Structure 1
Amino acid sequence: MRDFDKLWDYRHPAETEQAFRRELTAKQNREGGEYLAELRTQIARTLGLQGKFDEAHDTLDEVQAVLAEDWLTARVRYLLERVRVFNSSSRQTEAIPLFLEAWNLGIEAGEHDYAVDAAHMLGIAELTPETRMAWNLKALAHAEAHPGASRWLGSLYNNIGWAKVDAGELEEALDLFERAYAFRRKQDNPGATFIAKWSIAKVLRLIRRTEEALEIQQELLADIEQGAEQDGYVYEETAECLLSLDRLEDAKPYFAKAYELLSQDRWLAGHEPARVERLKELAVQAR
């Protein structure tokens, strides 16, 4: 990992982009080409997260033009960000072979952290549930075997947990989310801990332990009131818990707040429009 990697704030890619560009300006004449190439790959990643796919590819074209054969880490990072942009722009057929190349190159270079990154992305991008699960399990085994890649354990518990949810294996999913929560707390990562806690509550609702689920969501709402970032998914799940408990009137304001926030979520609006529309209908009833 490079020192600039500490600048990442994945929930605020535009701000992270500016932090990286300031770093690029400051280090332009003080660092070698490989460092600067790696830094530019991360600028490309921030652009991809903002949906600026053409700009991200242009930045990666600049990196590709200067990559030396022996810059193995920079090459792995270039591949990862190129294919992340492909994947985010729904070009999975182009992404998958390059993720596989990044996995193999990461292992060859002894960059186990980036190898696991590639494997976990294959666990997202692959086209069938079976191949996605196989790659997630391969990534988990590699992360558990290589301490330098252990930071991925929380993400992998989370991703495998959601695959279990999709497969209807809810008790196994709950166990994985609880492991993710314990790992994130040990990391002292408030944002990721918040998400892991929310995931536990979501599955508790799905297995009809609704009162427990609601209690956790209310704890997360208290965190928001005390300064945590607004999160539409917390309002949505709070509303769903209340609805499940036949407390529709109590649920309506939470559906309204969920719609206010989640209708602005570009990914959700594009991939689950019916879900957003349902929130809108319930939000209208709340007025």
Structure 2
Amino acid sequence: MSRLPLLALLLIGTPAMALDLNALWNFSDPALSEQRFRAALVQASGDEALILQTQIARTHGLRRDFETARTVLAAIEPQLASAGPEPRVRHALELGRSYSSATHAPATQTAETRALARAAYQRALEQARAARLDGLAVDVLHMLAFVDTAPADQLRWGREALALAQASEQPDARRWRATLHNNIGIALRELGRPEEALAEFRTALALRQEAGEAARALIAQWMVANQLRLLGRADEALALQLALAQDNAAAGAPDPYVFEELEALYRARGDAAQADHYARLRAAGKP
């Protein structure tokens, strides 16, 4: 927004950059997030109001109510012609998510829905690049991996997104780096390149730790340990998973996935007693 001429800035109303969406989002509770966005919408106008409505649409998508998401987006579409670039990018991005995303069941991903998602994502990407909205451009590139699900394609999209995130000076783009290294690692693992995958998972962990993202660092550490087990480096994997179990216990948040890994590791060592112990903990921790 700050790169627009002053006249254009005045024409599009309140600058969208004043809106802190991260403070309103709780991705584990989309219904609560919708309430927050609707409360903020009461005082919003111009681009901010449009952006908030794209996020309301996203909350419906996260609850797999894709029809409602598209209805919300269709209602604001007539206003986009006079809007700034960010609402237009976010509208196209959320429209794409309503057709193809992590929340869609595989059976729903037909050639038609993938084509609709791809068209929306490509439009969002072009507009984001033109407006130098790097964070949104990275988001779009990472979403294209849900349209093109072959590991080679996911690797290609992941690397393109990472290149943009690394080259950008915008915090909203650079904060994607750990996620992208993780995604690239998964693609490399699927492609039968486990050592390269481990390197990516280690980089993701280092970035999480550097950013002070404690909860996400625990997940990243699990990814490293899991990959070490798959590589046959059981002692290293066991040490990391035991450390995770200890940290989770201290936080009062036991993780069944950690117990599952510990069960597998001890089973492979022939320690049935310890394996059964973690099997019981895993079963008790399942929702």
Aligned to 2:35: 18
Q: Summarize the Cα distance change of 1:58–1:160 in structure 2 as closer, same or farther, 3 Å threshold.
A: same
Does the 8 A contact of 1:96 with 1:126 survive in 2?
Answer: no
Greater RCO between the two (CA within 8 Å, min separation 6)? 2
Aligned equivalents of 1:52 and 1:259: distance in 2? 31
Aligned equivalents of 1:150 and 1:97: distance in 2? 25
Moved more, 58-67 or 200-209: 58-67
What is the TM-score with the length of structure 1 in the denominator? 0.81
Could you tell me which of 96, 103, 108 is aligned with 2:125? 103
Could you tell me which of 69, 73, 87 is aligned with 2:100? 87
Aligned equivalents of 2:139 and 2:283: distance in 1? 33
Does the 8 A contact of 2:188 with 2:197 survive in 1?
Answer: yes
Aligned to 1:141: 163
Aligned to 2:74: 61
Query: Aligned-pair distance for 1:62?
Result: 2.6
- Residue 81 of structure 2 aligns to a residue whose secondary structure is coil
- Residue 178 of structure 1 aligns to a residue whose secondary structure is helix
Aligned equivalents of 1:107 and 1:239: distance in 2? 47
Q: What do residues 26-47 of structure 1 show as CA deviations (whole Å, max 9, x unaligned)?
A: xx2x322310111122222222
Query: Aligned-pair distance for 1:134?
Result: 1.6
Could you tell me which of 22, 26, 39 is aligned with 1:5? 22
- Residue 68 of structure 1 aligns to a residue whose secondary structure is helix
What is the TM-score with the length of structure 2 in the denominator? 0.81
Aligned equivalents of 1:256 and 1:194: distance in 2? 22
Q: What do residues 2-26 of structure 1 show as CA deviations (whole Å, max 9, x unaligned)?
A: 31322323333333333333333xx
Query: Aligned-pair distance for 1:257?
Result: 4.6
Q: Summarize the Cα distance change of 1:21–1:256 in structure 2 as closer, same or farther, 3 Å threshold.
A: farther
Query: Aligned-pair distance for 1:188?
Result: 1.4
5+ residue gaps, structure 1? 265-287
Q: What do residues 56-109 of structure 1 show as CA deviations (whole Å, max 9, x unaligned)?
A: 222222332432344210111111112112113234332122212211110011
Q: Summarize the Cα distance change of 1:178–1:228 in structure 2 as closer, same or farther, 3 Å threshold.
A: farther
Q: What do residues 169-203 of structure 1 show as CA deviations (whole Å, max 9, x unaligned)?
A: 11111111111111111211122211111110110
Query: Aligned-pair distance for 1:214?
Result: 1.9
Aligned equivalents of 1:39 and 1:86: distance in 2? 20
Does the 8 A contact of 2:154 with 2:184 survive in 1?
Answer: no
Q: Summarize the Cα distance change of 1:69–1:259 in structure 2 as closer, same or farther, 3 Å threshold.
A: farther
Query: Aligned-pair distance for 1:117?
Result: 0.8
5+ residue gaps, structure 2? 1-16
- Structure with greater Cα Rg: 2
Task: Report whether the alignment pairs 1:184 with 2:208.
Answer: yes
Aligned to 2:258: 234
* Aligned residue pairs, count: 259
Task: Report whether the alignment pairs 1:171 with 2:184.
Answer: no
Does the 8 A contact of 2:152 with 2:191 survive in 1?
Answer: no
Query: Aligned-pair distance for 1:120?
Result: 1.3
Moved more, 169-178 or 239-248: 239-248
Query: Aligned-pair distance for 1:259?
Result: 5.1
Aligned to 1:273: none
Does the 8 A contact of 1:4 with 1:23 survive in 2?
Answer: no
Moved more, 195-204 or 181-190: 181-190
Query: Aligned-pair distance for 1:236?
Result: 2.1
Query: Aligned-pair distance for 1:155?
Result: 0.9
Does the 8 A contact of 1:177 with 1:200 survive in 2?
Answer: yes
Q: Summarize the Cα distance change of 1:85–1:219 in structure 2 as closer, same or farther, 3 Å threshold.
A: farther
Aligned equivalents of 1:217 and 1:196: distance in 2? 11
Aligned equivalents of 1:259 and 1:244: distance in 2? 19
Aligned to 1:275: none
User: 1:156-235 counterparts in 2 under 5 A?
Assistant: 156-227=180-251, 229-235=253-259
Q: Summarize the Cα distance change of 1:19–1:215 in structure 2 as closer, same or farther, 3 Å threshold.
A: farther
The residue type equivalent to 2:25 in the other structure is W
